[in-house]
Amino acid sequence: MSKDLKVLICDDSALVRKQMNKIFSSQGISNIFEAVDGEQAVIKYAEVMPDVVFMDIVMPKKTGVDALKDIMSLNPAAKVVMASSVGTQANLKDAIENGAYDFIQKPLSEDSVVKILEKINE
Amino acid sequence: MFTQFFGNYLLNKGLVSAENLAQALADQKNTRLKLGVLAINAGFMTAEQVDKVHAEQQRVDKRIGDIMVDMGFVTRDQIEELFKTQPSGHLLLGQALVDSGVMSNAQFEQALASYKAENGISDADFINIDDNNTNKLVAHFYKFKDDSNVKYLTGYLTLLLKNLVRFIGDDFTPMDADYVQDRVLSECIGQKISGAVDAMTVIEADSETAVKFASRFAKEEITEYDDYAQACLSEFLNLHNGLFAVNVSNEEGNELSLDPQAYYDTLNLSELKNAYVVPVCFSFGTVNFVISI
């Protein structure tokens, strides 16, 4: 696992941000950035240019799918992982069609997050 | 899920008080099932026979299983079968109530038999708990004023109870759903669902209970009802609603979308359509859920 990965967590829940921070820290990753809504996610992405983004879907100001679209137009090679409890068929389809790298169904498990990080490192 | 409904049944029949039930729910984790309760549950012995065995145990220095066999109430094979019984929740609850003297063995036997009969639950159902009979139990338990949304209401509440067991703990008793039009909730978190069904959902608890609920969900010690504790309650509601949307999408092909959760200082239920307040009594306090469709 590359400890130099830059990770951006976009989730309006302080609990989820804390849980994800803990998972990344346990993998030795320290370049962790956070956004609390969809608008901030896009601004932060442009500022930090992270290697991977973990993006919630239901968020204030801008949904995760809209933020995904904006990020993909900024950088078509961006790796954006949607992490949501609302893993409905429509959301999965929407995410894939708009270029999402992967989809994690909440509740988050450390295993599922680590598997994605390993895939990115390959 | 039988445990939770059995607790409600005992409360509604006046067999236990709310305080006794909360204490027994808290105690059940440290309760060890005894052969007497297991034998009653399995239908091998009556409560009267169990009491006779306990009386005999005071007189002779023998293991309780040996006394049961010696008195001719059970066979060795039946004792072996009882030892293999998994400690299911309703038995632990019953044992905790018997141990604390709230109920006698006879009252437990009677309550269990009446509960099974009134809910149309066979002994086989009682042993083989699966999703189908959980859904049946929930549908039988909750009564709704308007039939038009029963499918969604039942589906929502069935999943809620499962998620409470999964993410918070099984030491709770669900109370009847209350159709409410004139209640004002304070300091609560709500989330709107739209699409195939339009609904408003709310979670509400007093601050002390909310802190304990948040601690369990976050799996960490939270001591104050602050923004972080609120975020934990809010995320539970969002997670549950998200999983409900996934179920509806997978089972019916219907899509639901969720608004971001919102915090309300006060929320007047008269502004909502067909609001049901569904209290869930944990050993640490009562959490109210509202579903309005």
Domains and CATH numbers, chain A: 6-117 (3.40.50.2300)
Does A89 touch chain B if contact means CB atoms closer than 8 Å?
yes
Verify cis geometry, omega within 30 degrees of 0, for the bond prior to A60. no
Structural contact between residues A37 and A59, judged by C-beta atoms closer than 8 angstroms: yes
Cα torsion B236, B238, B244, B246 to 10°: value is -120
Q: What is the structure's pLDDT at B124?
A: 59
Q: Is A78 on the interface with B (CB under 8 A)?
A: no
Does the beta carbon of A60 lie under 8 angstroms from any beta carbon of chain B? Answer: yes
Share of chain A above pLDDT 70, in %: 99
**Cα–Cα distance, B244 to B130 (Å, whole number):** 19
A14 and chain B in contact, CB less than 8 A = yes
pLDDT for res B243? 95
Helix (H, G, I), strand (E, B) or coil at B132: helix
Which one of B240, B242, B259 has the shortest CB-CB distance to A84?
A: B242
CB-based contact A13 B242, cutoff 8 Å: no
pLDDT of residue B159: 92
Per-residue pLDDT in tens (0 to 9) along chain B, 293 residues:
777 888 888 888 888 888 888 888 888 878 888 888 888 888 899 988 998 998 888 888 888 899 999 999 999 999 988 887 766 777 888 888 888 888 888 888 888 888 878 877 666 555 555 555 677 777 778 888 777 788 899 899 999 999 998 999 988 989 988 888 888 998 999 999 999 889 999 999 999 999 999 999 999 999 999 999 999 999 999 999 999 999 999 888 889 999 999 999 999 998 888 899 999 999 899 999 999 98
CB pairs under 8 A between A and B: 56
β-pair partners for A105:
A84
Give the Cα separation of B138 and A97 in Å (integer).
Answer: 39
- Contact present, B236 and B217 (Cβ < 8 Å): yes
Distances (CA, A) of B282 to B15, B60, B218: 18, 41, 17
Taking contacts as CB-CB distances below 8 angstroms, the residues of chain A near B258 are 58, 86
Please state which of the four CATH numbers 3.40.630.10, 3.40.1550.10, 3.30.390.10, 3.30.1130.10 is assigned to the domain occupying B142-292: 3.40.1550.10
- How far is the C-alpha of B36 from the C-alpha of B94, rounded, in Å? 11
pLDDT of residue B63: 87
- pLDDT band, very low/low/confident/very high, at A106 (cuts 50, 70, 90): very high
Strand partners, B276: B179, B291
Is the Cβ of B241 closer than 8 Å to some Cβ of chain A? yes
Asked if A61 and B221 count as a contact pair (C-beta separation under 8 A), the reply is no
Query: Which residues of chain B from 80 to 99 reach within 8 Å of chain A, CB to CB?
Result: none
Determine contact: B258 vs chain A, CB below 8 A: yes
CA A52 from centroid of its chain's CA atoms: 7
Delimiting residues of CATH 3.40.1550.10 domain(s) in chain B: 142-292
Secondary structure (DSSP) of B14-59: TSS-HHHHHHHHHHGGG----HHHHHHHHTSS-HHHHHHHHHHHHH
Convert the pLDDT of each residue in A54-100 to its tens digit: 999 999 999 999 999 999 999 999 999 999 999 888 888 899 999 99
pLDDT at B185: 92
* Chain A residues whose beta carbon lies within 8 Å of the beta carbon of residue B189: none
Q: What per-residue confidence (pLDDT) applies to B86?
A: 66
d(CA B190, CA B259): 9
- φ, ψ for residue B83, nearest 5 deg: -65, -25
Label residue A40 by pLDDT band (50, 70, 90).
very high
pLDDT value for B125 = 59
Say if the ipTM goes beyond 0.90: yes
Q: Within 10 A of A10 (CB to CB), how many other CB atoms are there?
A: 32
By C-alpha distance, the chain B residue nearest A19 is B218
Query: Does A59 reach chain B within 8 Å, measured CB to CB?
Result: yes
pLDDT at B68: 93
Task: Establish how many alpha carbons lie within 13 A of residue B273's alpha carbon, considering only the half-sphere containing its beta carbon.
Answer: 8
Which contiguous run of DSSP H or E holds residue A96?
helix A89-97
